[in-house]
Amino acid sequence: MTLISAAAVAIDGQICRPGWLQTAGRQILACGAGAPPRPADSNFPNSTVVPGFIDIHVHGGGGGSYADGNRHEVAKAAAFHLQHGTTTTLASLVTAAPAELAGTVRDLAEATQRGIVAGIHLEGPWLSPAQCGAHDRTQLRDPDPAEIDAVLAAGAGAIRMITLAPERHGSDAAIQRFRDAGVVVAVGHTDATYEQARHAVELGATVGTHLFNAMPPLHHRAPGPALALLADPRVTVELIADGVHVHPAAMRAVIQAAGPHRVAVVTDAIAASGCHDGAFRLGAVTIDVVSGVARVQGTSTIAGSTATMDQLFRSVVQLGSASGSDADAALAAAVQMTAATPAHALGFDSVGRLRAGLDANLVVLDRDLQVTAVMVHGTWRLGG
């Protein structure tokens, strides 16, 4: 057993100053506000302990990519993000040919079984050519029942979320098939109308993939999918809070409109995260990173990010403070959006909060909210 105390601990969504928690094996045994019941094994007098970050949309990092399922690359990317506090990773795949996609899903299913990642997110290939972003336009296609069955079989239960454009032929049946298989359906990379997006939600779609990005802009006479997703209380909206993908004022408006309980902060990071500027690949597409911003080579199209979850955590804390929230309210909202909300959206019921009975996944942040220690399943993986 390990007893941890800190200047502040985010216990079940509340900021306790000071606070403590005790782990036993891989789980949290007990936690509370105030002084610990006995001298702590690990004391962090100038730090804040928060739940491990949960990134439900990430393609790679630290020079490693999930795109081809290579064991070394997958481990490299997951280890990089772990150093930045991400204790639960959903490996995102971009559009690829059917055989290639199934093969990569099979490899990532193995990585899921080994606990390297928590599952797979298929971002495509059932996307809109008009809003394809950094996806290979030549491989975009309508959902096909046979292909869906093939990827579900290859995933062996590891596919946790898929993104599709609901206006594509066959999407209604695809949403139903994935929901029947226990897979979360997200709407994204779409040119759908407001009505088409609402219809997808009625069929069971519950996530909006990187809200505003790769979808038509909001218009007062044709509000499009963004408003349909933002306005529906059943939908969790992803937000890439790096200040590049969404203007801070728009981020603030989304958080105020939906509430932190419906906003999941995601990185959408690619292999370039943590690396110097240069040329990278995202699936079949070549990406140039200049001043930390990734774009499809030769275009102005943003291609994922170079962000990490700790960076985005600091960004949303700062955003909350700038909006007039007190320090603890801003911190609690950031905890919600980087852990509890994404956990709820994906049905990860053993993570996302610091509470007795849940997994002991936590991050220790210093006064500047920089990561100094990370615990996964009760074991210190960094610092401690």
Residues acting as catalytic residues:
268
DSSP bridge partners of 359: 27
Would you say 302 is a known binding-site residue?
A: yes
DSSP bridge partners of 104: none
b (16+ CB within 10 A) / e for 269-297: bbbbbbbeeeebbbbbbebbbeeebbbbe
Would you say 213 is a known binding-site residue?
A: yes
- For 108-172, the DSSP string reads HHHHHHTTSSSEEEEE-SS--GGG-TTS-GGG-----HHHHHHHHHHHTT-EEEEEE-TTSTTHH
Would you say 303 is a known binding-site residue?
A: yes
Would you say 189 is a known binding-site residue?
A: yes
b (16+ CB within 10 A) / e for 221-260: eebbbbbbbbebeebbbbbbbbebbbeeeebbebbeebeb
CA distance 149 to 60: 26
Would you say 75 is a known binding-site residue?
A: no
| Residue found by looking up tokens 């509470």 in the block | 355
CB burial of residue 42 (10 Å; 0-12, 13-18, 19+): middle
Q: Alpha carbon 93 to chain centroid distance?
A: 13
Distances (CA, A) of 250 to 241, 255, 303: 10, 9, 20
CA distance 307 to 298: 22
CA distance 153 to 92: 18
CA distance 117 to 109: 9
Would you say 35 is a known binding-site residue?
A: no
Would you say 247 is a known binding-site residue?
A: no
Would you say 32 is a known binding-site residue?
A: no
DSSP bridge partners of 286: 281
As annotated, the binding site for Zn(2+) includes 123, 189, 210
Detail the residues annotated as belonging to a binding site: 123, 134, 189, 210, 213-214, 221, 245, 302-304
Binding-site residues for substrate sit at 134, 213-214, 221, 245, 302-304
